[in-house]
Structure 1
Amino acid sequence: MIEAKYLQVDGALGFVEIVTPENSTAATLPTVLCLHTAGQSGVQWRHFARALSEFGYRVIVPDLPGHGRSEPAAHAPIRSLSIYADWLWKILELLDVQTPFVIGCSIGGKLTLELATRPSQPLAGAIAMEAEAAPGRVNVDGLRRELEDVASPSRADRTYLGTLASIGRAVPESRAHVIATMHKREDPEISSTDLIGWGTHDVQDRLGDVTCPIHLIAGDEDPWIDARSVQSAVDAINDSNPGLARYTLLEGIGHYPMEEVDDFASLAHQWLSELSAGSTVEAVS
């Protein structure tokens, strides 16, 4: 079953899609919060959400403020991922969700790390994809200048070509084209402010605060991250809490695993099951 809600948060409406298996009682299901990438929306999880729900989850897919069907933030586009994280907890509170799993990619992966390093708001488990604990690798000053000229007619083409360049070679050309075409729907101003958040967000000194089982994922063909840095974050978490974190390197995959990997829901279900079981750390390549 798919349910759509508009929720009033901080003076603006936020859109959330909720997917549950047929003939189930949502209150008895583990909840998975799915977080999209910079400039995009919950549509990135369109193939995933229903498929994951059939494994017995309630799947919540929000559009961050100014993305997809959510209204923009009341004052200005958001440039801080911690503000997005605050907004997400307000959404969860309105939905009466207390201890969710979180899975996110890119800025959604960084948001997953942000939420996982807030022990006062515990998670059941976290899967952070394509995100480093350190600030993201972008030219923040350049992005700030770009905000003065976001209406360039070439921006859609840049998004299309940039998406193609960020997809792994294991992905068929036809699927890569669809992913890149869908990504062209972004708002240039929102994309730029999201990337400023990506380039300034840093939880390196808070990795010891992670208290939930966590799995960090990197595509070996992702041009936006250094996979070694992702593995280093896993090591740092395990230094403080042995066995709490694990790492997977996805061969032939780029920046968008949930869109690139065949039957990603089955893979995510495996990871979520391992988090539930408190599995020991294991590097997979």
Structure 2
Amino acid sequence: MPFIHLEKHRIYYQKAGAGPPVVLLHNATGSTRDWRHIMPRLAQAGYQAIAYDRPGFGRSTPLAHWPLDYLHHDREQVIALIDALELERVALVGNSDGATISLLAAAAYPARVAAVVAESPHLWYEKDSLATGFQYFKQTLKQNPRVRRFLRYCHGAQAEQVIARWRSRWLDPAFFEWDDRSVLEQISCPALVIHGQNDPFFPVSHSQTIVNSLTDAQFILLEDVGHTPHAEIVNDYTNTVLSFLSSVYPITTNA
């Protein structure tokens, strides 16, 4: 198994293919396994697909607590990963927290990020919709045992800790004031923002505001899709991502 050490963390990662690198960032309950169907398609198209488990997820170092600024910490970590893998410039593809981290990285390190695909991103707190989203997730865990089984498949013994840590951070009143939308004016690379019409966590208007604040952005709204298009409509999602990358980050690009 490929591991790399970043700071005090042992990070698990996977690679597939050769060509311009595309780094895939999972959501707040995800892992590298979220991208198991998409990585081969990226590789087949001529890209080098790289997915990794953030600390506290999957096979990476367990993490008991998220600091309030965990998204900024993970922004630094994805750049550290790119450095450790000796990559000069990458495209970032992320879902939910992974999308947010991708946007934060593009803002802070424009020379390192060639393009961003932000799937179900969030850059400020939406109290009402998040309350609805967490209730939806709670019911899903009760009614669909396959979801909990998949979380155990992704995270093993730390699956319950992943869920508890996520809830603890996002339902902490100290986090309610979080607002990072000011970074959007610093993003210069092409971006594709994808949002599911039925996303229970964040309204469509959230992604629309993000798109309207970017200088070079496309927006795709998906009907009958929720918070995780990459898992709900794998083929359509992958085709959409590849179409975007081929236009702004072609396989002739030097890594």
**TM-score (norm: length of structure 2):** 0.81
**Deviation for aligned residue 1:204:** 1.1
Task: Please list, as runs of the form range in 1=range in 2, the aligned pairs for 1:51-62 lying within 5 A after superposition.
Answer: 51-62=41-52
Task: State how many pairs are aligned.
Answer: 237
Distance 1:259 1:232 in 2: 24
**Deviation for aligned residue 1:195:** 3.6
User: For 1:207-231, what per-residue CA distance to the aligned partner results, in whole angstroms no more than 9, with x for missing partners?
Assistant: 1100110111100000111111211
Partner of 2:229: 257
Distance 1:51 1:177 in 2: 29
- Structure 1 residue 117 corresponds to structure 2 residue 89: no
**Deviation for aligned residue 1:105:** 0.5
Q: Is the 8 A contact 1:109 1:131 kept in 2?
A: yes
Partner of 2:219: 247
Q: Is the 8 A contact 1:110 1:132 kept in 2?
A: yes
**Deviation for aligned residue 1:11:** 1.4
Partner of 1:148: none
- Structure 1 residue 128 corresponds to structure 2 residue 118: yes
**Deviation for aligned residue 1:272:** 1.3
Partner of 1:31: 21
Deviates more, 1:222-231 or 1:201-210: 201-210
Distance 1:122 1:196 in 2: 33
Partner of 2:192: 215
Cα distance, 1:8–1:228 mapped onto 2, change above 3 Å: same
Cα distance, 1:217–1:189 mapped onto 2, change above 3 Å: same
Structure 1 gaps, min length 5:
21-25, 143-157, 166-175, 239-243, 278-285
User: For 1:175-197, what per-residue CA distance to the aligned partner results, in whole angstroms no more than 9, with x for missing partners?
Assistant: x8755641355333443356469
Distance 1:112 1:196 in 2: 23
Q: Is the 8 A contact 1:135 1:199 kept in 2?
A: yes
Identity of aligned residues (%): 21
Is the partner of 2:12 in helix, strand or coil?
strand
Cα distance, 1:220–1:195 mapped onto 2, change above 3 Å: same
- Structure 1 residue 19 corresponds to structure 2 residue 5: no
Partner of 1:224: 201
Distance 1:202 1:189 in 2: 23
Distance 2:145 2:53 in 1: 23
Selected match of 2:4 from 2, 7, 11: 7
Distance 1:13 1:215 in 2: 31
Q: Is the 8 A contact 1:39 1:188 kept in 2?
A: yes
Distance 1:258 1:101 in 2: 16
Paired AA for residue 34 in structure 1: L
Partner of 1:188: 163
Structure number with larger C-alpha Rg: 1
Q: Is the 8 A contact 1:66 1:190 kept in 2?
A: no
Paired AA for residue 109 in structure 1: A
**Deviation for aligned residue 1:160:** 6.9
Distance 2:111 2:165 in 1: 27
Distance 2:126 2:247 in 1: 28
Alignment RMSD (CA, Å): 3.1
Cα distance, 1:210–1:226 mapped onto 2, change above 3 Å: same
Paired AA for residue 208 in structure 1: E
Cα distance, 1:236–1:222 mapped onto 2, change above 3 Å: same
Distance 1:225 1:78 in 2: 22
Cα distance, 1:196–1:249 mapped onto 2, change above 3 Å: same
Paired AA for residue 266 in structure 1: N
Is the partner of 2:113 in helix, strand or coil?
coil
Structure 2 gaps, min length 5:
251-255
